[in-house]
Structure 1
Amino acid sequence: MKLSLRHSFGGFSLDLELNAGAGITALFGQSGAGKSTIINAVAGLLRPDRGRLEVAGEVLMDTESALHMPPHKRRFGTVFQDARLFPHLSVAQNLDFGTRYAPRNADVPRDAVIDLLGLAALLERSPNTLSGGEKQRVALGRALLSAPRMLLMDEPLASLDAARKHEILPYLEQLRDGPLGLPILYVSHAVDEITRLADTLVLLKDGRIAAQGPLREVMSNPAAVPLLGVREAGSVIEAIVQSHDADGLSTLKLRAGTLVLPTVAAPVGAKLRLRIKAQDVMIARTRPTDISALNILAASVVGLHEGAGPGVAVTLDVGGERILARITRRAVEALGLRVGTSCFAVLKSTTIAPTSVGR
């Protein structure tokens, strides 16, 4: 998808160019950054002042030629913050409603969608008997059964509590990694969601693109810290489950060694992505001894980025992976940290929450 968009309203203006390819492209920004306006423009629910939208070589919108394809002809599956199910229809009937908008020659894999989203036990139930997470799974299934060329997801988990969000995230991971292969444009202001799901990350600020690129590159860029928030900023690394131990801990294999975490709900051999918050990483010049933290990784400093306050974002190379640590300027000076300095990254096992571990 190629999108150029310029639009002004109520003292706010959007001006951006965006490419969204395969996988999940996440739009992240604080409230008012323009995320939902972009989704509405792509879906055809907004006529921008100026813009052009092209998907798979087909132009769906071009203000210069006054082309504005109506929403129902764009073949996007849209999932909003609220599920918007038909209350008078059963789950099965809500799902079948999606097939009405599928092209006649589309081979809609109804059973595969039901299996993918775990909906078989819900088919005869009424929407008003479902939990929030179940409703969103049904809404997602209905969107998939319309045989869309792309999914648009606008804050789909924002209305769910932590437990329901944790319930539905694995289904979204399966959708990302499964055989359907649909590109997804995903809007969220929750860092835990985007770090688990996104392949590409676009950071928005005041209607402009402040940073974009592969998720791990953008997350490990110190310049992204103020955009993500100092308490949420961090890095994303890959790991493989090596063992589940009798004391309730799991050992994960990294490029730089091993990482010990509370029991990870994944089989031995599974590849995971881990979000490590910058504020949870300590730095030592020599390998610590007699310390409760179980995770000590050899590292070297590859970047120092001073913020407006007393904090410094330190980029560490750990076996070829990039990890961010956020420490004070005073600590940088006391440790004598410079680009090229050898050191150790120290992490407590409990700092990486289960919600920060994804497939």
Structure 2
Amino acid sequence: MKMLDVNIAGKIGSFAVSARFQAEQGVTALFGPSGAGKSTILKMIAGTARPDSGHIVAGERVFFDSVTGVSLPARARGVGFVFQDGRLFPHMSVRRNLTYARWAGRREASRSLEEVVGLLGLAAHLDRYPGTLSGGERQRVAIGRALLAEPEILLLDEPLSSLDRDRRAEILPYLEAVANEAHTPILYVSHETDEVARLADQVVVVENGNVGAIGTPAEILGQRRFPMDEEGPVSILEGRVIDVDERYGMARVEIGGALIELSKDSLPVEGGVRLRIHASDIAIAMQAHKGLSIRNQLQCTVEAVELRGHSAQIALSFGRQKLFSRITTKSADILGLKTGMQVTALIKAISVESGRAKIQGKTERQASLKVFPV
């Protein structure tokens, strides 16, 4: 398995970065606010900016080593780079854009054009030109061009930031497909919680040019006081399927020592699964209830209560996992919610963001799907 090992320090202008992490096959998200230094780290890996010290090693190939004096030029590193705006050649058709990097680099193909076109849903667009494509279509072409260049590493620098919400929703399934099919480390720069939750296997937090933390999406996003996506606070949970009730078509998932039930059709047959739950889909009760259709009821501890106008955001914990609920201020007052209280979280809907199931020796990413527990 190819491994990317990064341990670098340097400056671009007056901005200093220091980054140390490793990335295996799959998606490693460089996550943090705008201006944190994520893109600068990507440029140093790609070879368009030079660190002052450290090393960058991809598998057996040394891209940069300040001790031995190795510093490969960008064109010799075999890195696929997808920018925010795609940067397609406007005078070339989609077909020629896709094959340009392979032709220019005289690289041998392990992937066929047809394979990548099918993966990214581009068959109907091959004879079109970039100016006639939507933003999402242009980014799919840019990703396809990078894949066809046979990269050692695939770098994506906020590829969805220039797209509106509908176009982002359009392209995310294609990025999931790329994450599943690529056999190289993928570094994905983003400051969006929903993208990280949906795509990443590992999260590297970048703050003020430094790596602040490394962990799974659940571990990293759970550390934030109130992780947010476009729809407000969100909980990211990691669990595993432990058994299936074929009679009712339900699976039991163990999360932090607690059990929840979900439709088995939304889950891998066995193994790990990642869940995303919006705060508005979590109600709070002072005790568990037997006479409800909502079967997923977790005993939790109130970690924080934050009032925002007429709504209250409640941070809850059970085991090492965290949940976030959004209720009305009136409900919070009636329940008398305070830090340290024991309550029951009633979970109304869960998004199954991704899972891992071993199929013929290969790790396969499951599709994203929202399910409504009963």
On whether the aligned pair clears a TM of 0.5, the verdict is: yes
Deviates more, 1:226-235 or 1:20-29: 226-235
Which amino acid in structure 2 is aligned with residue 225 of structure 1?
A: R
Quote the offset at 1:57 in angstroms: 2.4
* Structure-2 residue corresponding to 1:198: 200
CA contact (8 A) 1:176 1:182 kept: no
CA contact (8 A) 2:119 2:177 kept: yes
CA shift digits 1:158-178 (9 cap, x unpaired) = 011111111111111111122
Out of 257, 265, 268, the position equivalent to 1:268 is 265
Number of residue equivalences: 333
Out of 103, 110, 116, the position equivalent to 1:100 is 103
Quote the offset at 1:289 in angstroms: 7.6
Q: Find the aligned partners of 1:269 and 1:9 in 2 and give their Cα distance.
A: 46
The 1:121/1:289 distance shift into structure 2, 3 A limit, reads: same
Q: Find the aligned partners of 2:313 and 2:87 in 1 and give their Cα distance.
A: 44
Where 1:268 maps in the other structure, the secondary structure is: helix
TM-score, with structure 1 as normaliser: 0.78
Answering whether residue 18 of structure 2 is matched by residue 12 of structure 1, we say: no
Quote the offset at 1:105 in angstroms: 4.0
Out of 49, 59, 69, the position equivalent to 1:46 is 49
CA contact (8 A) 1:304 1:312 kept: yes
Answering whether residue 88 of structure 2 is matched by residue 89 of structure 1, we say: no
Quote the offset at 1:334 in angstroms: 4.5
CA contact (8 A) 1:203 1:227 kept: no
CA shift digits 1:285-310 (9 cap, x unpaired) = 3125888xx64523244794799x99
Answering whether residue 125 of structure 2 is matched by residue 122 of structure 1, we say: yes
Q: Find the aligned partners of 2:105 and 2:235 in 1 and give their Cα distance.
A: 41
Which amino acid in structure 1 is aligned with residue 172 of structure 2?
A: L
Quote the offset at 1:224 in angstroms: 3.0
Quote the offset at 1:108 in angstroms: 3.2
Q: Find the aligned partners of 2:217 and 2:316 in 1 and give their Cα distance.
A: 18
Which amino acid in structure 1 is aligned with residue 150 of structure 2?
A: A
Quote the offset at 1:234 in angstroms: 2.6
Please show how residues 281-296 of structure 1 align to structure 2 within 5 Å. 281-288=282-289, 295=294
CA contact (8 A) 1:274 1:358 kept: no
Q: Find the aligned partners of 2:97 and 2:196 in 1 and give their Cα distance.
A: 28
* Structure-2 residue corresponding to 1:150: 153
* Structure-1 residue corresponding to 2:214: 212
Please show how residues 242-281 of structure 1 align to structure 2 within 5 Å. 254-255=253-254, 256-258=259-261, 268-271=265-268, 273-277=274-278, 281=282
CA contact (8 A) 1:199 1:215 kept: yes
Quote the offset at 1:20 in angstroms: 1.1
* Structure-1 residue corresponding to 2:184: 182
Which amino acid in structure 1 is aligned with residue 209 of structure 2?
A: G
CA shift digits 1:83-129 (9 cap, x unpaired) = 11111111111111021255644433211111101111111111111
Q: Find the aligned partners of 1:175 and 1:104 in 2 and give their Cα distance.
A: 20
* Structure-2 residue corresponding to 1:324: 323
Identity of aligned residues (%): 36
TM-score, with structure 2 as normaliser: 0.76
Deviates more, 1:95-104 or 1:62-71: 95-104
Which amino acid in structure 2 is aligned with residue 100 of structure 1?
A: W
Question: RMSD of aligned C-alpha atoms?
Answer: 3.8
The 1:53/1:63 distance shift into structure 2, 3 A limit, reads: same
Quote the offset at 1:208 in angstroms: 1.7
